[in-house]
Amino acid sequence: MSSDPLTILLVGHGSMPIPPVGWGAVESLIWEYSLQLKAMGHRVEILNIPNTEQVIDHLCKYSYDFVHFHDDILVNILELIPSSVRVVVTSHYPYIHDTSKWNDLLSGYDYGSFVMAPLIHYARRRRIHVCAVSQKDRDAFVSYGIPADSVSICVNGVNVSKFNVELGPVQHPGKTICMAQIIPRKRQHLFRGYSDILCAGKINDASSLPNPESWVGEWGDDKYEKLTQYANAILLSDGENGTPLGIKESLAAGLGCVVSEAVAYEIPKDWHWVYVIPESQIEDLEVIRKACETNRVVAGPLRQEIREKTRELWDWSTLVPAYVAAVKKALKI
């Protein structure tokens, strides 16, 4: 395997800008990947257009050491691009492990037929390599029939140094922040009736907002300063690939966190500044209230430790070199 710089194309959905101006976890990680890869000396381009024919045209015209699709539906274009194109695919679908939720009758999107079936087909023929964002997703891919050596784990990270950490008094003591897009899957509605939880994020479903007064807006780069001014963070999603970006960012800002079992998947068991609410109690507002209040007390004095532990585990400066090594090994570059 060569140690020479690689030419890499990262492909997004094309529905939002990269870097994002507000909400956009996938767009944010594509941007962070590009920055770290360039810092390592690699040549990186981002293709972020919504027109599939233009994506195909681009891949037919230009050559890269490998192309990484962060839009899983693009696995369906493999027959329309040269077989010499080395393709890596990451699916950011939150229910990869739960087949009962694959067929979305409301949107007409069936993950099983639209994504998983072609993933299995092309992985078995060695046309693609899958980069799963968690062990849970990797295990699911293998259980569905994707060869084990066609799946690597490439955990999502956070740029820890971007986040300010307030070690003294904060602007919003006694307030817990939920930083996530406001949709049913994130379950912000569970906070209804508890005024000490505030929500930052794009409103995609107004009925999921606990109340109008709880919304503090959709943050962009101001999150790097604002996040640490809250006492702690919360996210009670019912499905995630791994620990979502909003929680990793909250930890980077030194905050303790209250999370659901789905959100807690990657979090080390000995991180006592993270409180996991059992799914059996997730709709009990009193349990949520007590968890938030206890977590503020426990995590408050530990901000610097929380930040450093997060850096050790999830900073992009560690994760991206491991990603490059895994892809080079898988694709025999």
**pTM confidence score:** 0.91
- Find the mean pLDDT for residues 6-14: 97
Whether residues 31 and 136 share a domain: the answer is yes
Quick one: 205 exposed, middle or buried, by C-beta within 10 A (0-12, 13-18, 19+)? middle
Structural domain including 74 reads 7-157+315-331
pLDDT of 46 > 50? The answer is yes
Give the CATH number, domain containing residue 103.
Answer: 3.40.50.2000
Query: Could you tell me the two tokens for 282?
Result: 């997730």
What confidence tens digit (pLDDT) does each residue in 243-302 have?
999 999 999 999 999 999 999 989 999 999 999 999 999 999 999 999 999 999 999 999
pLDDT of 203 > 50? The answer is yes
pLDDT at 316: 96
What confidence tens digit (pLDDT) does each residue in 224-239 have?
999 999 999 999 999 9
pLDDT at 108: 62
Residue 2 lies in a domain: no
Phi-psi region of 248 (alpha: psi -120 to 50; beta: other; left: phi over 0): alpha
Whether residues 262 and 124 share a domain: the answer is no
Whether residues 169 and 251 share a domain: the answer is yes
- Do 243 and 264 contact (CB within 8 A), yes or no? yes
Residue 200 lies in a domain: yes
What confidence tens digit (pLDDT) does each residue in 156-194 have?
999 999 999 999 999 999 999 999 999 999 999 999 999
pLDDT of 87 > 60? The answer is yes
What residues contact 173, with CB distance under 8 A and at least 6 apart? 231
Whether residues 250 and 319 share a domain: the answer is no
2 pLDDT band, cuts 50/70/90, is very low
Whether residues 149 and 189 share a domain: the answer is no
What residues contact 227, with CB distance under 8 A and at least 6 apart? 163, 164, 177, 179, 219, 233, 249, 250, 253, 255
Number of structural domains found in the chain: 2
Handedness of CA 261, 264, 269, 271 (dihedral sign): negative
1 pLDDT band, cuts 50/70/90, is very low
Whether residues 42 and 138 share a domain: the answer is yes
For residue 30, which amino acid is it?
I
pLDDT of 12 > 60? The answer is yes
Mean pLDDT of the residues in the chain: 94
pLDDT at 107: 59
